[in-house]
Amino acid sequence: MEKNLLVEEIKDKTERMRRDAIEMGFSAGSEGAHFGPALSCMDMVATLFFGVMNYDPDNPEMPERDRFVLSKGHACLAYYAALIEAGYIPREMIPQFKGNNSILCGHPSKNVQYGIEVSSGSLGNGFPVACGMAKAAKFKGEAHQVYCIVGDGECNEGIIWEAALNAAKNKLDNLIVLVDINNFQLSGTTSEVMPINLDALWRAAGWEVLHIEDGNNVEEVLQILNEVKESDIEKPHVILTKTVKGKGISYMENNLKFHATSINEEQYRQAIADLDKAEAERKEQ
């Protein structure tokens, strides 16, 4: 597909995913949802699923499929929304988010038939699984890629760096990690909680480090992901991606209150109005 058409298609998907995420989170009622971290990485997840990755929802276990791991599992609204758009999860299941016996748990629970490759949510633990998947693919001579999204706050976890060092040692160039740098975590800003130099740490761990200045711009995300996919550098790749917490919903953007909370009817309507406005403005361009 011609690049400009693909970018517009990904934007269309992202808009629908944001709506689905709001619908899911609102349907959970007092259980609430992690709106902020899901909305910040929504554009990255959409670009991976609809511009980069190889998969088939009619054959969810095909060996050559690319693997996706959402290590920051609390952002599962973005993951589920992509799986709905991709055809893995029926749209009718949206109201079941966080419901009893639902596959749409508050953190991803492995269910390959529905496109969920790995259980995640305990911060730091999804990323080492992704490293193991990439290592296994190398051992077996398989050509698929492994993609993983990690949170910037999640990078406080020591297990991240143990796994990163092992991945570099094994030259896992089939592993591509995006760090969602939205500058917030549960208890405050990342600079307040644990100021770290992500660029220096990933380089010291032996990774190829790239940067995306606007991780909510699908064109920029797509360009970097395609470049990395074609890279011949024998190192694992990490893309440090700046995003906006709560992107797309006016009262959620850069607002720590909406890291994890419920929304009422008025807030739900305002969120839908924000999405309607953004969609109308894009179509006028």
pLDDT, one tens digit per residue, over 40-91 is: 999 999 999 999 999 999 999 999 999 999 999 999 999 999 999 999 999 9
Q: Give the CA angle between residues 126, 248, 202 to the nearest 5°.
A: 35
Query: 214, 150 in Cβ contact below 8 A?
Result: no
Q: Which domain holds residue 62?
A: 3-284
Q: How many domains does the chain have?
A: 1
* pTM more than 0.85: yes
Q: Would you say residue 199 has pLDDT above 90?
A: yes
Query: 80, 97 in Cβ contact below 8 A?
Result: yes
DSSP codes, 33-83: B-HHHHHHHHHHHHHIIIII----TTSTT-TTPPEEEESSGGGHHHHHHHH
Secondary structure class of 181 (helix, strand, coil): strand
> How many contiguous H segments (helices) and E segments (strands) does the chain have?
9, 7
181 phi/psi in degrees, rounded to 5: -95, 85
Distance CA 79, CA 2 (A): 26
Going 163 to 169 to 170 to 172, the CA torsion angle's sign is positive
Q: pLDDT by residue (tens digit) across 108-132?
A: 999 999 999 999 999 999 999 999 9
Give the pLDDT score at 31. Answer: 96
Give the pLDDT score at 1. Answer: 63
Taken as a whole, the chain contains a residue count of 285
Q: Of 81, 89, 79, nearest to 57 (Cα)? A: 89
Q: Would you say residue 2 has pLDDT above 80?
A: no
Q: Of 23, 74, 1, 29, nearest to 262 (Cα)? A: 29
Q: pLDDT by residue (tens digit) across 3-28?
A: 789 999 999 999 999 999 999 999 99
Distance CA 214, CA 224 (A): 11
- Round the average pLDDT of the chain to a whole number and report it: 97
Secondary structure class of 188 (helix, strand, coil): strand
**What is the token pair recorded at 179?**
């760090």
User: What CATH number has the domain bearing residue 240?
Assistant: 3.40.50.970
